[in-house]
Amino acid sequence: MGNKKYGSRIFWAIIYTLITIVLSIISISSGYFPLEFKIGYFYQLFWCIACTCLGFACLTLDLISYSPVPLRRYLAYYPLLILVISSLVLAILNLFEKTSGTLFYYFSFPICFVLGFMVDWFWNFITEIIKGLLSKLIK
């Protein structure tokens, strides 16, 4: 009875880990493309998504003793947040010339992993910033 309750979290942890593995293989097998080639950004985005998915899979396993999350959150809410986090990390790290090359992979992994692990905190942080800005604009 207890295993059935937590089985969905294990299932989604495995799914997001598999996404991590597939995107990492695609990113690593591509080799290093200079950013003059626009395709290099796609491989960097795949890398960021893979690292964020790995952090989210660890979060899912960490929260295994809590009640299950509705399916729609795993299919719509969390993938969208993972894409937003990965895109922000990609954009911010490519702003600086030093981190847009090979150093990108060393800097992006821990940032994406931690933000993937703290995905709910990230969403609450962003919404609080937006609420604060809107309240200042309305006054």
- Pick the range with the lowest mean pLDDT from 30-39, 83-92, 94-103: 30-39
Q: What are the structure tokens assigned to 116, written together? A: 């993937």
Q: What is the pLDDT of residue 1?
A: 41
| Contact predicate 11/68, CB 8 Å | no
Q: How many CB atoms lie within 10 A of CB 73?
A: 13
Q: What is the pLDDT of residues 33-78, one digit of tens each?
A: 555 556 667 778 888 998 898 898 888 888 776 766 777 777 778 8
